Amino acid sequence: MLSVRQVAKMIDHSLLRPELTRADVAAGCELAAEYDVASVCVKPCDVAFAVGLLAGTDVAVGTVAGFPHGAHATRVKAAEAAAARDDGAAEIDVVLNIGRLREGRDDEVREDLAAVVDAAGGALVKVILENAYLTDEEKRRGCRLAEAAGAGYVKTSTGFAPTGATLEDVRLMRAAVSPHIGVKAAGGVRTLDLLLSMVDAGATRFGATTTAAMLDELAARRRD
């Protein structure tokens, strides 16, 4: 049975809503440090700020590129990744080019992602498929292209599309990539029971905003 710490280290505490102020980011970083989660995922403009706040903790700082639609030019995505790394980001979640994937232009999708991986300079890259817009075949192909590009994770969703993570998608993505590639579920993972079900389905990271509530509930269950 997973411990509270084990679950905490699967959570990327999400601070991506457009209306968040620096005070909101500071509060989110304080919460992330208190619960010792894997990372915070902040907007690109907040990376350096979050890095400073979390210095000396075991919480990484991540950010996004090509977010939320995946339609940035490759050179822009790569520049975003490089800037994030320069600002201290250890993880970068990038949205693949959804339209190109749906068109079957696989070489372009892979090359777009590979440019981001290269520009990330060793930062962990997680590729967001945005499954709400894809067929199962497209999801599998997107996973394979992300792995071929050198990404470390495939991710279900941005959290800004009509639907988010599902158990079926987590199982599909887990089966589509090699064992060393992680699967991140994001978008709608708001309850502890759903998170634990997704762990059983193969997810190893989660984008979450209800971090405190889920971890507090797990701690209470462990005491009972």
Active-site residue flag, 77: no
- Identify which of 192, 143, 196, 129 has the alpha carbon closest to the alpha carbon of residue 167: 196
Active-site residue flag, 193: no
**Residue of 12, 46, 77, 93 marked catalytic:** 93
Q: What is the pLDDT of residue 110?
A: 98
Active-site residue flag, 139: no
Q: What is the pLDDT of residue 1?
A: 82
Average pLDDT over residues 115-142: 98
Q: What is the pLDDT of residue 224?
A: 78
Q: What is the pLDDT of residue 51?
A: 98
- 37 CB burial (10 A radius; 0-12, 13-18, 19+): buried
Q: In this predicted model, what pLDDT tens digit does every residue of 149-187 receive, in sequence order? A: 999 999 999 999 999 999 999 999 999 999 999 999 999
Tokens linked to 208: 């979450």
Q: What is the pLDDT of residue 121?
A: 97
Tokens linked to 68: 């939320």
CB of 128 within 8 A of CB of 99?
no
Q: Does the predicted TM-score (pTM) go above 0.95?
A: yes
- Tell me the CB-side half-sphere exposure of residue 179, using CA atoms within 13 A: 0
Q: What are phi and psi of 98, to 5 degrees?
A: -60, -45
**Helix 22-35, helix 211-223: angle, nearest 10:** 20
Q: What are phi and psi of 163, to 5 degrees?
A: -135, 160
Q: Does domain 60-223 have CATH number 3.40.50.1820?
A: no
Q: What is the pLDDT of residue 10?
A: 98
In the predicted model, is pLDDT for residue 101 greater than 90?
yes
Domain ranges of the chain: 60-223
* Tokens 């304080």 found at: 30
Q: What is the pLDDT of residue 89?
A: 98
**Residue of 77, 126, 155, 169 marked catalytic:** 155
Q: What is Dmax (Cα atoms) for the chain?
A: 53
pLDDT above 70 covers a percentage of the chain that reads 100
Q: What are phi and psi of 21, to 5 degrees?
A: -95, 175
